[in-house]
Structure 1
Amino acid sequence: MRKITLGFLLLTMAVLVSCQKEETPTELANPQQLEFEKLQQTFPGLQRFNSLTDYQDFLKRQQKEGLSDPALKSMIDGDFEIFDDEEEFAATSATLVEDFEDGSSEISISPGFVFDMSLLNPTWDFMFFSGGSPEMTLDLEPNDINYFSVKVLDMSAVSDVEYSFDFIDANGELIYTFSGFSTPPGTINFMGFYSPGVAIKTVKIYSSGLALGLPLLDDIYLGSAVADTDGDGCLDSDDPIVESNVEETVTIQDCDSGIANLVTETCGITMSDQVNELMASAKNHGAFVSSVAKLAKEWEAAGMITKKQKSDLVSCAAHAE
């Protein structure tokens, strides 16, 4: 495994491309020239530029994939879901299968080069692959994977990187194509994908990034995703009320108390859920009003509502039929 520093990557502003190699400047100092030639033996498409202007001009001449404007965090074709925030997508049995920290990969990935930069910063171990063609292919095991997430990095200070993903099932059929995801320079971005109906067997990743140091992948998670049907922050597998009452305010029949309907300390139970449970279990109207008054007193003591809000809630309970 070859070890190089991030400083060298950014200083040279080298790029991996499939087009013909430009002429290497003859003015390079001998030590730099020797190291550059060594890198070229591993990366035949490696190029070097005299200035930032030359590099930017080169990028403008390259063909890039067309950008799309996908609606992230929303259901799309065939219930396939895409998330750009790992806190907004919950998954159980999701296991970190690859972080590249040991300078190798446990997943079958081709082509690709693992750069171990632990001497500079232990968090900068990642998978690097050539932009454009060929794509990088990940073969996943076992055969019941429906959750795939990855962090995509752009360690360049110059240009955005555009990523595209193909998701393929065990029969070689395309499940979904996602394209046009762009990462600004110097950023790390999370991408999570969930295919509830069909297991993901193969992921192909494409990129239009052309500079050495991009595109980069890290922290690949695989597993089985579990939905949060009511969106209360508690996964269905752990939620005592899978379809909670998530209305904005606590309402008893047609009486709106004006109290914000918060999720209680018990995972998956809202304040409205608690009121609804009291209504369902009360033997009569008087018992219901009494139980609501007791609950409202507990909420006030916990700082969840004010004294006036407690009175408003009990008033709504009293007017219920």
Structure 2
Amino acid sequence: MPNSTTVTEFLLTRFSDVWELRVLHAMLFVLMYVATLMGNLLIVTGITFSWKLHTPMYYFLRNLSVLDMCYISVTVPKACAIFLLDNTAISMTGCAAQIFLVVAFATVELLFLTVMARDRYVAICQPLHYPVVMNPRVCVQMTLASVFSGLAYSGLHTGNTFQLPFCQSNVVHQFFCDIPPLLKLSCSDTLNNEILIFISSVVIAGGCFAFIIMSYYHIFSTVLKFPTRGKRGKAFSTCVPHILMVTVFLSSGAAVYLKPTSSSPTIQDMLSSVFYSIVPPFLNPIIYSLRNKQIKEAAKRVMQRKLYSGER
């Protein structure tokens, strides 16, 4: 194309160019990152070394914790680097890798949350069938199916995105490489990409959300029949945060991915990205695990064992 050059690298965007705010943003990201790693690592260690927690529910919780540590590690370290350093560039290969991993981990996260809703549904609504329906082999199969589905979905969209020519501005209006802001930089028609993203997002995300809502609907219907108020309160206090977390995760992702590429980028887009790329890994340990008495006891035993071995 005339008056254009081929893009070989991209420039990521900060929330602010004011140095004090850049430091503040970096500190917030680092604190969330460290808290996420510590919380999820504590859960993984506690479940791994406590044989009482070797059940399907805790198996999925451990998988979610491992996934969350990987998920947040894709975006936060690079974001902190661009906040604090003058260089905001990321190579074409680095950008492709970041997009592939973000989309893959986000998809697997959603599938894991769907599987976990299924696990809770069977445990509460069909307790007699639970050992058969959620046997170890089925749990491993569902985990592998989720991971491979996420990788395939991410590979499809990453490949379609980087088949496009980029010969306009190389400034990505986001603190990490993501598909929607990248489509705005293409000098070719991106309508087919937008249609594919819209349809696949509605089918997969919408299908998972509908399945989760139906699962919790049946769970609530069963819980309301419990004779004691304490059991009902415990079930509601566990299920409601799950639904809220899934709703925030999907609504923030939809605000970015289902927005037309013709619209101008805003700071709201960057904030929405925080809510689907950083907040879920940060809050999941609190919502799904650290409020759980058994996991807290297991984590406490692991910490006491480490302190005892350190004193010796």
TM-score if structure 1 supplies the norm length? 0.21
* Bigger RCO (CA 8 Å, 6+ sep): 2
Between structure 1 and structure 2, the one with the greater Rg is 1
Structure whose residues are more often strand by fraction:
1
